[in-house]
Structure 1
Amino acid sequence: MKASSGGMRMHVPRSLLLLAALAIPGIPAHAQGDAPLPHATAVTAPTTTATPLGADIGGLLDHARNTNPSFAAQRAETAAARERVDSAGALPDPNVQVELMDFTNEMRGGGTTLVPGRVGETRYRFIQPLPGWGKRELQSRTAAAKAEQATAGLDAAWLDLALTIKQAWLRYYAADREAALARETLALLGGLEEATLARYRQGLAPQQAVLRAQREITSQRLAQVGIEQRRRGAVAALNGLLARAPHEPLAAPGEPSALPAALDLAALVARARAANPALAADERGIEAARLERERTWADRYPDYSIGVTNNRPRGEDQSWDLMFEVMIPLQQSARRAREREAAYMVTAADARRAATGSRLAGEIGAAWANFTSARETQRLLRGTLLPQAQATRDATRAAFETGRADFDAVLEAERQLVDTRMNLLQSEVEARMALFEIEKLVGESL
Structure 2
Amino acid sequence: MAAAQADSPILTLGAALDAAQARSATLQAQDAATRAVRDMAVSAGRLPDPVLRLSVDNLPIEGPMRYSLTDDFMTMRSVSLMQTFPNSEKRQARSSRYEREAEAASSMRSMQKARLLTQTARAWFERYFQEQMIDLLRRQHQDASRVSEAVESAYRGGRAPQADVLASHAAMARIDDRLHEVRVDLANAQALLQRWVGEAASQPLGSPPTIDRTRLSGHQLPHQIDLHPEIAVMNARERVAQAEAELAKQDKNADWSWSLMYSKRGSQFGDMVSLGVSIPLQWDQARKQDRELAARLQRVEQVRLEREEMRRDHLFEVQRLIANWQSNLTRLADYDKTLIPLTIERVVATEAAFRGGKAPLTAVLEAQRMVTDTRMERLRIEKQTAAWWVELEFLIPHDPVAQATPTNPSNPPAQEQKP
Assess same fold via TM > 0.5. Answer: yes
Instruction: Show the counterpart of 2:376.
Output: 422
Of the three residues 28, 45, 48, the one matched with 1:92 is 48
Partners in 1 of 2:288 and 2:314 — Cα distance?
Answer: 39
> Is 1:258 matched with 2:207?
no
Are residues 249 and 367 of structure 1, via their aligned partners in 2, closer, same or farther at CA, if it must alter by over 3 Å? closer
**Per the alignment, in what secondary structure is the counterpart of residue 394 of structure 2?**
helix
Answer yes or no: is the 8 Å Cα contact 2:241–2:296 preserved in 1: yes
Partners in 2 of 1:176 and 1:314 — Cα distance?
Answer: 94
The share of aligned pairs that are identical, in percent, is 23
Of the three residues 230, 236, 245, the one matched with 1:278 is 230
Instruction: Show the counterpart of 1:18.
Output: none
Q: Which amino acid aligns with 1:417?
A: V
User: Within 5 Å, which residues of 2 pair with 1:222-233?
Assistant: 222-233=177-188
Partners in 2 of 1:237 and 1:330 — Cα distance?
Answer: 62
Are residues 229 and 125 of structure 1, via their aligned partners in 2, closer, same or farther at CA, if it must alter by over 3 Å? same
Of the three residues 322, 328, 331, the one matched with 2:281 is 328
Partners in 1 of 2:61 and 2:173 — Cα distance?
Answer: 105
Instruction: Tell me how far 1:388 sits from its aligned partner.
Output: 1.6
Instruction: Show the counterpart of 2:121.
Output: 166
Instruction: Tell me how far 1:118 sits from its aligned partner.
Output: 12
Partners in 2 of 1:114 and 1:364 — Cα distance?
Answer: 80
Q: Which amino acid aligns with 1:199?
A: A
Answer yes or no: is the 8 Å Cα contact 1:193–1:213 preserved in 2: yes
Answer yes or no: is the 8 Å Cα contact 1:69–1:243 preserved in 2: no
Instruction: Tell me how far 1:159 sits from its aligned partner.
Output: 0.6
Partners in 2 of 1:369 and 1:243 — Cα distance?
Answer: 34
Instruction: Show the counterpart of 1:437.
Output: 391
Instruction: Tell me how far 1:62 sits from its aligned partner.
Output: 1.7
Partners in 2 of 1:199 and 1:264 — Cα distance?
Answer: 60
Are residues 267 and 206 of structure 1, via their aligned partners in 2, closer, same or farther at CA, if it must alter by over 3 Å? farther
Instruction: Tell me how far 1:261 sits from its aligned partner.
Output: 4.8
Of the three residues 291, 297, 315, the one matched with 1:337 is 291
Instruction: Tell me how far 1:231 sits from its aligned partner.
Output: 0.8
Partners in 1 of 2:197 and 2:53 — Cα distance?
Answer: 55
User: Within 5 Å, which residues of 2 pair with 1:390-409?
Assistant: 390-409=344-363
Answer yes or no: is the 8 Å Cα contact 2:45–2:95 preserved in 1: yes
Q: Which amino acid aligns with 1:325?
A: S
Instruction: Tell me how far 1:45 sits from its aligned partner.
Output: 12
Partners in 2 of 1:186 and 1:410 — Cα distance?
Answer: 14
Instruction: Tell me how far 1:317 sits from its aligned partner.
Output: 4.4
Instruction: Show the counterpart of 1:11.
Output: none
Are residues 215 and 57 of structure 1, via their aligned partners in 2, closer, same or farther at CA, if it must alter by over 3 Å? same
Are residues 217 and 337 of structure 1, via their aligned partners in 2, closer, same or farther at CA, if it must alter by over 3 Å? same
Q: Which amino acid aligns with 1:289?
A: A
Instruction: Show the counterpart of 1:351.
Output: 305
> Is 1:71 matched with 2:27?
yes
Answer yes or no: is the 8 Å Cα contact 2:69–2:76 preserved in 1: no
Answer yes or no: is the 8 Å Cα contact 1:105–1:119 preserved in 2: no
Which deviates more, 418-427 or 173-182? 418-427
**Per the alignment, in what secondary structure is the counterpart of residue 99 of structure 1?**
strand
Over the residues paired in the alignment, what is the CA RMSD in angstroms? 2.7
Instruction: Tell me how far 1:223 sits from its aligned partner.
Output: 1.1
Partners in 2 of 1:297 and 1:270 — Cα distance?
Answer: 34
Partners in 2 of 1:159 and 1:44 — Cα distance?
Answer: 32
Partners in 2 of 1:44 and 1:232 — Cα distance?
Answer: 19
1:167-204 Cα shifts (integer Å, max 9, x gaps)? 11111111111111111111111011011122323333
Partners in 2 of 1:269 and 1:194 — Cα distance?
Answer: 61
Are residues 191 and 268 of structure 1, via their aligned partners in 2, closer, same or farther at CA, if it must alter by over 3 Å? farther
Instruction: Tell me how far 1:249 sits from its aligned partner.
Output: 5.9
**Per the alignment, in what secondary structure is the counterpart of residue 288 of structure 2?**
helix
Are residues 397 and 45 of structure 1, via their aligned partners in 2, closer, same or farther at CA, if it must alter by over 3 Å? closer
1:47-104 Cα shifts (integer Å, max 9, x gaps)? 6xxx44xx22222222222222333323322222222221121211111111212223
1:389-420 Cα shifts (integer Å, max 9, x gaps)? 22222222233233332212211221121122
Partners in 2 of 1:120 and 1:177 — Cα distance?
Answer: 93
Q: Which amino acid aligns with 1:300?
A: K
**Per the alignment, in what secondary structure is the counterpart of residue 441 of structure 1?**
coil
User: Within 5 Å, which residues of 2 pair with 1:20-419?
Assistant: 51-52=9-10, 55-104=11-60, 109-112=64-67, 120-242=75-197, 250-261=202-213, 264-273=217-226, 275-315=227-267, 316-332=269-285, 333-419=287-373
Instruction: Tell me how far 1:111 sits from its aligned partner.
Output: 4.0
1:20-47 Cα shifts (integer Å, max 9, x gaps)? xxxxxxxxxxxxxxxxxxxxx9x97996
**Per the alignment, in what secondary structure is the counterpart of residue 134 of structure 1?**
helix
Are residues 436 and 70 of structure 1, via their aligned partners in 2, closer, same or farther at CA, if it must alter by over 3 Å? same
Are residues 392 and 114 of structure 1, via their aligned partners in 2, closer, same or farther at CA, if it must alter by over 3 Å? farther
Are residues 113 and 395 of structure 1, via their aligned partners in 2, closer, same or farther at CA, if it must alter by over 3 Å? farther
Partners in 1 of 2:69 and 2:378 — Cα distance?
Answer: 90
Instruction: Tell me how far 1:438 sits from its aligned partner.
Output: 0.9
| Number of equivalenced pairs | 394
Instruction: Tell me how far 1:439 sits from its aligned partner.
Output: 2.0
